[in-house]
Structure 1
Amino acid sequence: MNISFEGKRVLVTGVGQGIGRNLALHLSKYHATVIGISKTQKHLDSLKAEDPSIITIQVDLCDWSATKKAVESVLPIDMLVNNAGLACLAPFLKATEEEFDLTMNVNVKPIVNVSQIVGADLIKRKVAGTIVNVSSQAGQAAVRDHAIYCASKGAVDMLTKVMAVEFGPHNIRVNSVNPTVVMTAMGKIGWDDPVKARSMIDKIPLGRFAEVEEVVNAIVYLLSDQSSMINGVTLPIDGGFLAT
């Protein structure tokens, strides 16, 4: 595919590590003006050192007001990737209020906050746009010890659909990607144990976890005009896990 984002301003949350960092670097190579948000300044510094063209913003996405101010300061934005996320894993009976609040505050609330700002500005400018939310197969399939995480990603999937319905008439497309396990720092929290990892891999017809670049490529496709009629989709990147 001949993809170029030249002249486009793309905001990516959670660029400090993993999928978000890789995505920011890829989008820059596709000639986008990339604005990356992370809570951790040292991660932003290392990203900036690798690609000085990337604009970095340090903000805690759990802070609604600070996030709103930060995003408004970098408008206009043409494309948005809500990637920031975390996983608090525990059996259902041992899940805590603190873990629930933190998970929803990171995985769900910023999608509403940031997308409201970007979406409203796109509508005001009467410009077509694209939003991609990074969800998970855990939003569509129950995974042991992932009750709160599954709930948060289920919320992301439904937000994606409602946003697609409401933004569609303004020519703003909204989709999500729903990867299986990706062995980023967050992925290792739940699946670093080889025995536990094997229990999941055995349920994936392709017999392996996803690579970061495989998720990034799907996001790039959904951002691009190559997917111009795709809206409201929750796209599995799971090697067939959800098909079984």
Structure 2
Amino acid sequence: MQFSGKTVIITGAGKGIGRACAQVMAARGAQVIAMTRTQADLDSLEAEIGCRSIRVDLSDPAATRAAMAEAGPADFLINSAGTNVLESTFDMTDEGYDRVMDINLRGALVACQAFGRARVEAGGGGAIVNITSIAGHRGFPEHLCYAASKAGLEGASRVMAKEFGPHGIRVNCIAPTITLTELAAAAWADPVKSEPMMVRHPVNRFAEAEEVAESIAMLLSDDAKMVTGAVLPVDGGFLAV
């Protein structure tokens, strides 16, 4: 029970990588505080792992701050909440930009800010993992705002690692490849798009959500106590070749 006696806040915990994180962390002894905007997802997760749940729309900064206050002090934060709007540079809309940036970037930063303040008040220590994407490192068509949000979160995480470090708070990012979630299915269901991507992975497959969650658990653990300000690709070698 690696995280026995520890508490973790997970945004976007209702589906995909966030839900896998909740399952993995609970299985390893952590008390999970799950945040997402869909009550049915929270209800089913609570029944499955016995977590606390807070319904919140993370595109609303005031609501996000209120949810973090309701959660109270925690040892860890995993920012998994994310969305995508498939628009090219030519077709970008204000609505698409706002939707992606509000959740993927500002929502994560607000959660990190609230977590960091609470940890300092509690005496310091703790760790954050922000989930980014290989899309922040390579240019994928129709991922303009998504790529900007994930690259921005990686840059911001380096700043937080610098500013939070003196308080014993570590901040890292996980950059997954295409992970078999509902969000990815919408973007990569077409074999014309997915097959050329598949062959660029030395392991010849996409990631499973649990595999990403296990890497996140590693970064939160004392096994990574000297790791901060880093971006760990969980990409089957995609960025290496």
After superposition, residues 115-194 of structure 1 pair within 5 angstroms as 115-194=112-191
**SS of equivalent residue, structure 2 residue 90:** helix
Q: Distance in 2 between matches of 1:93 and 1:238?
A: 29
Q: Distance in 2 between matches of 1:168 and 1:63?
A: 28
Summarize deviations over 1:145-201 as a string: whole Å, max 9, x none. Answer: 111111111111101111111111111000000000011000111111122100111
Summarize deviations over 1:70-114 as a string: whole Å, max 9, x none. Answer: 211221111000110011112210111100000000100111111
Runs (4+) off by over 2 Å: none
Structure 1 unaligned spans of 5+: none
Structure 2 unaligned spans of 5+: none
Q: Distance in 2 between matches of 1:223 and 1:26?
A: 12
Q: Choose 198-207 or 223-232, whichever is displaced more.
A: 198-207
| 1:70 to 2:105 alignment | no
State whether residues 46 and 53 of structure 2, in contact with CA within 8 Å, keep that contact through their aligned partners in structure 1. yes
Q: Distance in 1 between matches of 2:223 and 2:178?
A: 26
**With structure 2 as the length reference, what TM-score do the two structures score?**
0.97
Q: Choose 59-68 or 170-179, whichever is displaced more.
A: 59-68
Give the residue type in structure 1 aligned to 2:25.
L
Shift of 1:62: 1.1
Give the residue type in structure 2 aligned to 1:28.
A
| Match of residue 7 from structure 1 | 5
| Match of residue 42 from structure 1 | 40
216, 230, 234: which is aligned to 2:231?
234
| 1:26 to 2:48 alignment | no
Give the residue type in structure 1 aligned to 2:39.
Q
Identity of aligned residues (%): 42
67, 85, 88: which is aligned to 1:91?
88
CA RMSD of aligned residues (A): 1.0
**With structure 1 as the length reference, what TM-score do the two structures score?**
0.96
The count of residues paired between Structure 1 and Structure 2 equals 241
Shift of 1:127: 2.7
